[in-house]
Chain A
Amino acid sequence: MRIDETHRVWLVASIVILGAATAVYVIYALAAPHGPSGGSPIGLVFGFTGFGFMIYAGLLGARKKVPIMRLGRAQGWMRGHLWLGLLALPLILFHGGFHFGGLLTSILLWLLIITVLSGVFGAILQHYLPTVILERVPMETIYDEIDRVRDQLRVEAEGFVADLCGGGVPEAEAMALVPEGGIRAGGFTAMRPRGGGGVQYGLTEAEVEPVRSFFQTEMLPFLLEPSAKSSRLGDDTRAVAAFTKLRMLAPAAAHPVIANLENLCEEERQLTRQARLHKMLHTWLLVHIPLSLALLLLSVFHAVIALRY
């Protein structure tokens, strides 16, 4: 979610709440005989308010489970999650008087700090990375389908080379790209394998040999393992140099095929980039969500224990 002018109300409200809480805390901390304490009336108010904000932030996950229910706009929930979740940290610090206390409270405070920091990190990523993906991955596809699209790119490349050099993509292999029982957009035509027809370019074996050799020794390994750092096709500049050299070795009639192969490599690189950016964009959730669940569970326990003793 981009943090833009639509967040202004939340930002202002958060600043007002934080300012008021800070003012109350300073007065209370100066007046408290032994400094601020979580068990004092004001400390409890800070604690319950911060816990309430944490609960609200945690309810975002529940809200996502029931997207069709009329429980307010998803964007509103997300903004509340961002700003109230962020406010929970200073309020809980005020609650404990910036003391970490015992083992459980220390664990809680560290969980809160990690959860909030990971959330801030995620919010920053969510703010900037979509733009980066838009600019650097124009050939973006659905993340979950990247592996299958890659296989299709390889088959497509083999088809182009077969067209130029003769031979073709085995029909069985082309059909294997369609998942069992899968439905593919485009219906029947999408399931139709391509290649094998052979477009006649009028080139001799010797003339197409550089293209075939390049494909077999460099491009196919790259398409099979695009993240391998040893391949020069994984790097934009070195890939351009490689294809420029190939064009010099191959006759002009083969250049359209080479251009297609170069385009396929470019798409392959973009998919690699997309996968990397996607992981960046979502991996922080592996920290944020489980720890926030643990935080909520332990917070409930802490509240019960603290009120009892």
Chain B
Amino acid sequence: MPRVRTTKALAQRIDLNYFKRPIPLRRWRFWLCLLIPLGCFLWIGWKLAGRDFQPYSSGPLSAGHVLLTRDCTTCHVPEKNAVFTEHASDQACKNCHDGPIHQLAQAREPECGSCHVEHRGGARLIATSNQSCAQCHANLETKPGSSTKYIKTISSFNTDHPEMAVFRGANPRDPVTIRVNHFVHMKKNLLGPHGSVQLECKDCHRQPASREPWLFGSAEALPVSAPVATPAAGMKADLYAPDPGLALMSMPKFAESCSACHLLQFDKRFSEQVPHDKPDVVHAFVVKKFEAYIAAHPAELREQPEEERRLPNRPAPPAARVVTPAQWVAERTKEAETLLWGKTCRQCHSITITEGAPLPKVADANYTLHWLPHARFDHDAHRGFACASCHPNALTSQDSAELLLPKLATCKDCHAPGPSHVEARCFECHAYHDWSKRKGITPTFVPRALRAQAVDLIPKPAGQ
């Protein structure tokens, strides 16, 4: 008898109350639906009860603020007239940070958080976006009644950034008065103090903090008393305050870079050289030397001058004569200074000899330390690069007034958006805050780890 599977027979197998019985899958679902949300609820409650708001943070803090990770209320303080919100206000930033204004004439001052975005991880807060700057500089406006000398439409470095200000004129020149022929100095087999040499850029150009020995600085060279050139006029004096002495090249100094080859001898009677100093110092040195000499050698007061040493276009001295010591010193000094002012010093310096003036006038070197007064450049960050890769004309330039600064296009070769280029955002070269206008703050923040022992010792600001 074959097996019967009619609908009725199949229906008869089913318990009509089957749906009332608990089944494992549904039971599991019920308990999971109960326990998992309950677990979440308990977790939230546990954190709230412990005043631990860190899990609710919208992201990790920047490297500079990482100490505040568990101290949300340091920045998130109730705002005035705010019932519910506790956003991090500018005042919370300024409790610890002195953020001086950018420009007095700026039309508006953005909020700290609009440029320095927190809770984005370990990135530096200083790494602001181009748009942060462009929100004003793309269409620069000033306060009513103010004007600006700056270009008014700059969106980013790689789009519409103008050429460096120093190149914008019709005939950009280096105002330096020191004559240096780079081409001659970079030639092979240049005559050095001990034979032929091949100079390198760093033999003359170095950062102030460089500790390498100077190959062409003479140990006997006298110290330079002239002050180092001050920053260019108009430069923000404190802009480079954190500069460790490696960012910019210092002014080449005679004693360090030149003295080994460029000897400052003034008379064959002396092996000493005149100091590399102002004319009056040099003059005093020469007079003193001759006076000491003639005192030790009075016989030379009767000595006949050498014919071959007679200077051209000067009357021939008498064949033999006797002079006083003062006369002898004056004549020798004049001869020596004629050599110095006319040749030795003039080789590099611009010297003006005025008729009747006792001493010549040496033009100020007018050396420019900061070519980019509103930007910063760090030579140390580029130390692995050959100097000529950015300053190619330095190898061939014969005119010291020629600008050897690279143009913006050279910078853009490397500084551009994209994965194969390096940082090109505004902050890489420009600083927003004018640190020369800093006011100073009285910090009140105590790190959490030190709070227990320090809480009673630190004076509280007025009103707290």
Q: Is A231 an interface residue (CB 8 A)?
A: no
Report the separation of the CA atoms of residues A195 and B366 in the bound assembly, to the nearest whole angstrom: 121
Question: In the complex, what residues of B have CB within 8 A of residue A305's CB?
Answer: 56
Q: Could you say which of A67-75, A232-240, A255-263 contacts chain B?
A: A255-263
Q: Is B271 an interface residue (CB 8 A)?
A: no
Interface secondary structure of A, over-half rule: helix
Q: Could you say which of B129-137, B380-388, B406-414 contacts chain A?
A: B129-137
Q: Is B461 an interface residue (CB 8 A)?
A: no
Q: Could you say which of A98-106, A165-173, A217-225 contacts chain B?
A: A98-106
**Partner among A141, A183, A290 whose Cβ is within 8 Å of the Cβ of B33:** A290
Residue in chain A with minimal CB distance to B44: A301
Interface residues of B in 225-281 (CB under 8 A from A): none
A282 to chain B, nearest CB (A): 6
Question: In the complex, what residues of B have CB within 8 A of residue A264's CB?
Answer: 3
Q: Is A297 an interface residue (CB 8 A)?
A: yes
Residues 93-116 of B, flagged 1 when their CB comes within 8 A of A and 0 if not, give 000000000000000000000110
Interface residues of B in 165-207 (CB under 8 A from A): none
A51 to chain B, nearest CB (A): 16
B28 pairs with A183, CB closer than 8 A: no
Residue in chain A with minimal CB distance to B11: A185
B41 pairs with A102, CB closer than 8 A: no
**Partner among A34, A101, A139 whose Cβ is within 8 Å of the Cβ of B132:** A34
A194 to chain B, nearest CB (A): 11
Number of A-B contacts (CB under 8 A): 149
Residue in chain A with minimal CB distance to B115: A33
Report the separation of the CA atoms of residues A289 and B26 in the bound assembly, to the nearest whole angstrom: 11
Q: Is B396 an interface residue (CB 8 A)?
A: no
Residue in chain B with minimal CB distance to A153: B13
A186 pairs with B58, CB closer than 8 A: no
Question: In the complex, what residues of A have CB within 8 A of residue B32's CB?
Answer: 286, 289-290
B3 to chain A, nearest CB (A): 4
B58 pairs with A306, CB closer than 8 A: yes
Question: What total of chain B residues lie within 8 Å of the partner, measured CB to CB?
Answer: 55
A184 pairs with B15, CB closer than 8 A: yes
Report the separation of the CA atoms of residues A185 and B18 in the bound assembly, to the nearest whole angstrom: 11
Q: Could you say which of A14-22, A118-126, A143-151 contacts chain B?
A: A143-151
Q: Is B146 an interface residue (CB 8 A)?
A: no
B378 to chain A, nearest CB (A): 24
Known: A38-B58, A101-B58, A104-B56. Is A179-B15 also a contact (CB below 8 A)?
yes
Question: In the complex, what residues of A have CB within 8 A of residue B85's CB?
Answer: 307-309
What bracket does the count of chain A residues touching chain B fall in?
Answer: 35 or more
A34 to chain B, nearest CB (A): 4
Residue in chain A with minimal CB distance to B88: A309
Interface residues of B in 37-69 (CB under 8 A from A): 37, 39-41, 44, 53-60
A102 pairs with B56, CB closer than 8 A: yes
B33 pairs with A309, CB closer than 8 A: no
B37 pairs with A34, CB closer than 8 A: no
Question: In the complex, what residues of A have CB within 8 A of residue B319's CB?
Answer: none
Residues 33-47 of A, flagged 1 when their CB comes within 8 A of B and 0 if not, give 111011100000000
Residue in chain B with minimal CB distance to A37: B117
Question: In the complex, what residues of A have CB within 8 A of residue B16's CB?
Answer: 182-185
**Partner among B14, B53, B76 whose Cβ is within 8 Å of the Cβ of A185:** B14
Interface residues of A in 17-66 (CB under 8 A from B): 31-35, 37-39
Known: A37-B117, A144-B19, A298-B40. Is A256-B12 also a contact (CB below 8 A)?
no
Q: Is A13 an interface residue (CB 8 A)?
A: no
Question: In the complex, what residues of B have CB within 8 A of residue A260's CB?
Answer: 1-3
Interface residues of A in 235-288 (CB under 8 A from B): 256, 259-260, 263-264, 279, 282-283, 285-286
9 of the cross-chain contacts (CB-CB < 8 Å) are A33-B131, A34-B117, A103-B54, A183-B16, A290-B35, A301-B44, A307-B84, A307-B85, A309-B85
- Top 3 A-B residue pairs of the complex, sorted by shortest distance between their CB atoms: A186-B12, A33-B131, A190-B12
Q: A152-B13, A186-B9, A309-B58 are in contact. List 12 more A-B contacts (CB 8 A).
A: A34-B117, A34-B131, A104-B55, A182-B17, A185-B14, A189-B12, A199-B1, A283-B25, A289-B32, A290-B36, A290-B37, A309-B76
